[in-house]
Structure 1
Amino acid sequence: MQQFFTDYMTQQRALSPPTVASYRDTFVLMLRFAHEHHGKAPTDFQLTDLTAKFLLGFLDHLEQKRHNSVRSRNVRLAAVRSFLKFAAGRDPAHLSVIEQALAVPMKRFDRKMVGFVPKEQMLAVIDVPADTWVGQRDRLMLTLMFNTGARVSEIVGVRVVDVVLGPTSSVRLHGKGRKQRTLPLWKTTAKAIRDWLELNPNLQANSPLLPRRDAMPMTRANVAQRLKLAVDAATLRHPDLAKISVSPHVIRHSTKSLLPPFLAIY
Structure 2
Amino acid sequence: MRKKELSYYVTSFFTEYLSGEAGLSINTIKSYRDAFILFYKYLEEAGICKISKLKMDMLNADNITGFLDWLEQSRCCSIRSRNQRLAALKAFCSYVIRRSPEESALCQGVLKIRIKKAPQKSVEYLSGAAIEYLLKMPNSHSMQGIRELAMIALMYESGCRVQELIDLRVGDIAFRSPNTLTLTGKGNKSRVVPISINAANILKAYLNSAGIDDTVHPVFVNRYNKTLSRSGVSYVLDKYGQIAHKARSDLFPSKLHPHILRHSKAMHLLENGVNLIYIRDFLGHSSVTTTEIYARCSPELKRKYIEQAGTLITETVEEYSDGEKEALIDWLRENI
Q: Which category of TM-score, normalised to the shorter sequence, fits these structures?
A: over 0.9
**1:156 equivalenced with 2:166 (yes/no):** yes
C-alpha contact 1:118 1:254 (8 A) present in aligned 2: yes
Structure 1 residue 230: Cα displacement: 1.3
Structure 1 residue 128: Cα displacement: 0.6
C-alpha contact 2:221 2:228 (8 A) present in aligned 1: yes
Distance 1:187 1:3, change over 3 A: same
Structure with greater contact order relative to length (CA < 8 Å, sep ≥ 6): 1
Q: Distance in 1 between matches of 2:177 and 2:94?
A: 50
C-alpha contact 2:18 2:24 (8 A) present in aligned 1: yes
C-alpha contact 2:179 2:196 (8 A) present in aligned 1: yes
Structure 1 residue 47: Cα displacement: 1.2
Q: Distance in 2 between matches of 1:198 and 1:11?
A: 39
Q: Which residue is equivalent to 1:42? A: 51
C-alpha contact 1:163 1:170 (8 A) present in aligned 2: yes
Structure 1 residue 186: Cα displacement: 0.3
Q: Which residue is equivalent to 1:135? A: 145
Q: Distance in 2 between matches of 1:160 and 1:43?
A: 47
Q: Amino acid of the residue matched to residue 144 of structure 1?
A: L
C-alpha contact 1:149 1:253 (8 A) present in aligned 2: yes
Q: Distance in 2 between matches of 1:129 and 1:14?
A: 39
How does 1:248-259 map onto structure 2 within 5 Å? Answer: 248-259=258-269
Q: Amino acid of the residue matched to residue 233 of structure 1?
A: I
The root-mean-square deviation of aligned C-alpha atoms, in Å, is 1.8
How does 1:38-187 map onto structure 2 within 5 Å? Answer: 38-130=47-139, 131-187=141-197
Structure 1 residue 94: Cα displacement: 3.7
Structure 1 residue 162: Cα displacement: 0.9
Per-residue Cα deviation, 1:185-234 (whole angstroms, up to 9, x for no partner): 10101111111122122442211112111112221111111112112333
Q: Distance in 1 between matches of 2:154 and 2:252?
A: 23
C-alpha contact 1:116 1:257 (8 A) present in aligned 2: yes
Per-residue Cα deviation, 1:103-160 (whole angstroms, up to 9, x for no partner): 2111111120113211121111111141432221111101111111111111122111
Question: Which one of 201, 205, 208 corresponds to residue 195 of structure 1?
Answer: 205
| Paired residue secondary structure (2:99) | coil
Find the structure with the greater CA-based Rg.
2
| Paired residue secondary structure (1:173) | strand
Q: Distance in 2 between matches of 1:236 and 1:16?
A: 39
Structure 1 residue 17: Cα displacement: 1.7
TM-score, with normalisation over the residues of structure 2? 0.74
Q: Which runs of 5+ in 2 are unaligned?
A: 1-9, 285-336
Q: Amino acid of the residue matched to residue 45 of structure 1?
A: L
Structure 1 residue 235: Cα displacement: 3.7
Q: Amino acid of the residue matched to residue 155 of structure 1?
A: L
C-alpha contact 2:242 2:255 (8 A) present in aligned 1: no
Point out the more displaced range, 231-240 or 117-126: 231-240
C-alpha contact 1:117 1:244 (8 A) present in aligned 2: no
Q: Distance in 2 between matches of 1:163 and 1:242?
A: 30
Q: Distance in 2 between matches of 1:210 and 1:11?
A: 29
Q: Which residue is equivalent to 1:228? A: 238
Q: Amino acid of the residue matched to residue 57 of structure 1?
A: G
Q: Which residue is equivalent to 1:32? A: 41
